[in-house]
Amino acid sequence: MELDKKAIAADLVADPDLIHFDNAGASLMPRPVLDTQLAHLLLEAELGGYQAEAERMSAIEAVYDSIGSLINCHRDEVAVVENATVGWMMAFYAQPFEPGDRILTAEAEYASNYLAYLQLVKQRGVLVETIPSTADGEVDVEALRGMIDARVRLIAITHVPTNGGLVNPVEEIGAVAREHGIFYLVDACQSAGQIDLDVDKIQCDALSATGRKYLRGPRGSGFLYVRRSALAGLHPPVVDLFSATWTGPDSYELRADARRFENWENNYAAKLGLGAAVDYALALGMPAIEAEVTRLAAKLRERLAEIDSVTVHDIGRRRCGIVTFAVDGIDAGTVSDRLRQHRIHTSVSGPSSTLIDATRRGLPSLVRSSVHYFNRDDEIDRFVETLGSIVGNG
């Protein structure tokens, strides 16, 4: 199915003159996502929050079905949470780690995840090890095979790292994890909404994602998937009266479904907005979205190569919508600020957000220009022209 870019443009609330290439930071919500939230906020102001929730209960419940359709799972395997970090942490800190347990992860792992590993290295005596990368830059699946032993408790992989075009081979990694019965946690924060995800093909036990990035949902929204067969073995790191029932003075019972990783109070407007964003992506079709994002990013990389002082730093056999580059003699923050003066949005990816990968590759701070399917070819032309004029090589 081809994307109808005119209809997509008509749903943009933003000024069409603005070039938003910060979709891996926070994308632009389409009109239906905004309207869904505004309508619920209005209802809360008119009726009160509890009554508004009761009134919209079936729509709130439908959010779980929508996420299930997006990643090919059952609604009971989904927890809707505040962001990707909360989702990921819930699955990570629920692991019954013992001293000496090994965690295997990617070199381009996200800072927050790695900080959590380091905390448990300190507190529980686990070991964290990075799986070497191939010459193309992705996780080396053969090297992973060679690292497996009985002490590997967890394989945790960032699908699309924060700092470049890399797409890690999560399905091949999943086959290794499944073969050895090792818990497999995938950080899909930056892939959800730009890459068609199927948890059965990935064979992960848990997967986390955020709303505001490629899903074009609201800030402060995200979700966690936990495979049904893995649920019973995972006690949430925190419990409240939503995730568990107080059954006696000394006892409680956890919810049976993935909502054991949620808690009671929620921003229902954001939750409904997340559902609307997922529905919007599903209506367009994830394969069509993925194809258009890939095409636009490849074109942007190609055009950036025309500017002598610009070096694109993306790696990986397969590359996504995130395009990162450095400019000789001008730091990334200055380039991004100057682009903003021309109404072009990018962000900056510093070495500390993927420290191991950035150190290994000697990366400076990079300008991160992340495209989405609603971006246009003429925006790429204007981006490259403007950048050329900023760096004095146009």
* Residues found near ligand PLP in the complex (CB under 6 A): 83-85, 110, 112, 158, 161-162, 187, 189-190, 210, 222
**How far is the CA of 355 from the CAs of 20, 93, 365, in angstroms?**
27, 22, 11
> What whole-number distance in Å separates Cα of residue 201 and Cα of residue 162?
23
Reference 3, options 248, 285, 359, 219; nearest CA is: 285
Q: How far is the CB of 17 from ligand PLP (least distance, A)?
A: 27
Q: Give the residue with the Cβ less far from ligand PLP, 103 or 391.
A: 103
Q: What is the DSSP letter of 75?
A: G
Residue 321 DSSP label: S
Tell the smallest beta-carbon distance from residue 322 to ligand PLP (Å): 9
> Residue 91 Cβ, how far from ligand PLP at the closest point, in Å?
12
- Count of residues in the chain: 394
Kindly tell me which of 170 and 390 has the beta carbon lying closer to ligand PLP. 170
**Closest CB 189 distance from ligand PLP, rounded Å:** 4
Neighbours of 265 (CB within 10 A): 9
Of 157 and 258, the one with the shorter C-beta distance to ligand PLP is: 157
| Helices within the chain (DSSP H only) | 5-10, 31-47, 49-55, 57-71, 84-93, 111-124, 141-147, 170-180, 199-202, 228-231, 268-284, 286-304, 332-341, 355-360, 377-391
Nearer of residues 112 and 309 to ligand PLP, judged by Cβ = 112
Q: Which is nearer to ligand PLP, 112 or 311 (CB)?
A: 112
Measured in whole angstroms, the distance separating CA 313 from the mean position of its chain's CA atoms is 20
CB closer to ligand PLP out of 44 and 205: 205
CB of 93 to ligand PLP, least distance (A): 15
Q: What angle do CA 286, 13, 343 make, to 5 degrees?
A: 100
- Cβ 222 to ligand PLP shortest distance, Å: 5
